[in-house]
Amino acid sequence: MIENRTPTTSKTADHSRRNFLKLTGAATAGAAATSVFPSGAHAADDQTIRLALIGCGGRGTGAVGDALSVPDGGPMELHAMADIDEKAIEHRRTALERRFKEKINVPQERRFIGFDAYKKAIDILRPGDVALCTTRAYIRPVHVEYAVSRGINVFMEKPFASDPGSLHRMYRAGENAKKTGSKIAAGLQCRHSPARKALLDQIADGALGEVSYVCANRWGGPNNLRPQGDNANNLISQLNFGRIGLLWVGSGHMVDYLIHQIDETCWIMGDWPVSCRALAGRTPETIEMGQNLDSYAMEYTFADGRKAFCGFRTQENSTNDFATYIHGTKCAAQFSGNVHRATVHKFKDQRIGNEFIDWTPPADQHSPWQYEWNDFVASIRGDREHNEALRAVKSDLTTLMGRAACHTGREVTWDQMMASTFQFCNYLDDLDYNSEAPVKADGNGKFPQPIPGKWTEV
């Protein structure tokens, strides 16, 4: 279970917030503490970092590309691949070979297929190598837990679990990494942006005054799950078509996408919210067979009373927005932009727009995904502590708090999320090709949808 929290007073919250911002603005995730692995043990005698890709989808392939593109990262290769679908392995391996040629070293005997393939891929790695856990969220805690138990470093994509019960399992894996020496990088890449850190330094120095309100939006077009016919209640089919349409598979589209902005909000506030109230709904005439709603509007409250609004929407013919904004007592700022670009500005007053820009930091030279891997590999090569799991789990728990508030129509508290053992699927370790799907569509092909008073996910 994640450790409990004691609400802070406004005075202590302000003090901790400033210290938090100073620290995050001045240092990368890889701190200076010494790992349990001696220097040089991270990749055996040849110093090659071997990668095992577990979950061969687009995000995993992108992560491999970023890993193999680290400037001055030393020798590195993709050494193994694992998936429940052989075709996925072949498709992604071929694509990666076209880009990286000699860095892709995955012969047939290191292409593992099946629900236990992750163990086989991890078992051939050495301390200092990296398991890329990039499946959908439902099974990530199982994979990360195993890699950590073997002393292997982990890169894990977001979201980090589909429900609070599984997130607590992930947190325990993160705690265990302190003992095994495993380094863990979490796929909240914007934490590695120098431009964002420069704005946090400005905030810590009082340039915005006291930050009292953050607004983070991701408003875009529709993304509905269509009828799946005879495949609707087949487990393997659900893992493919339900990746963001079914909550048990990937947390749902709001969590999958908006977790970045919610993480940014907590980073800016230097704290985790104590409660969330929310509104949510579905657009008339929407064809949605899955479990998502079309709009999510969440108001988070922090211990000292400050507020953050986080909004997600999938709707046609509407204004789109993909950004995080900050309002202080002196002026406003923009922290993040479209598709996670480092669109960072401080404005002259509370008005947001190019004509009101007062300060802009030097532009980031890399994408946030590349910075993330640059920092991670530097920590491995330098044998420095690097454990983003505990903070990442809390960001995900905050996002699930918002989802629960929207789906149940009730205020949901941090303490409720901390105490929750709820899981959509409680037999993750025993899944195989013949397992029953944990959620079933009705005779019309529609899956159970959140209805306040009838819905539980905490």
Longest dimension (CA), the chain: 62
Q: What is the pLDDT of residue 2?
A: 59
Q: 3-class DSSP state for residue 278? A: strand
Distance CA(278)–CA(45), nearest Å, equals 54
Distance CA(301)–CA(308), nearest Å, equals 7
Q: Both tokens of residue 160? A: 């980090």
**What DSSP character marks residue 321?**
E
Query: Residues with Cβ < 8 Å from 211, sequence gap 6 or more?
Result: 203, 268, 269, 306, 326, 327, 328
pTM over 0.85: yes
Q: Which domains does the chain have, with CATH numbers?
A: 28-190+370-389 (3.40.50.720), 194-364+397-430 (3.30.360.10)
Which residue numbers in the chain have pLDDT < 50?
Answer: 1, 3-44
Kindly report, residue by residue over 405-418, the tens digit of the pLDDT. 999 999 999 999 99
Distance CA(415)–CA(393), nearest Å, equals 15
Q: What is the pLDDT of residue 45?
A: 63
Q: What is the pLDDT of residue 286?
A: 82
Q: What is the pLDDT of residue 114?
A: 98
Q: What is the pLDDT of residue 100?
A: 97
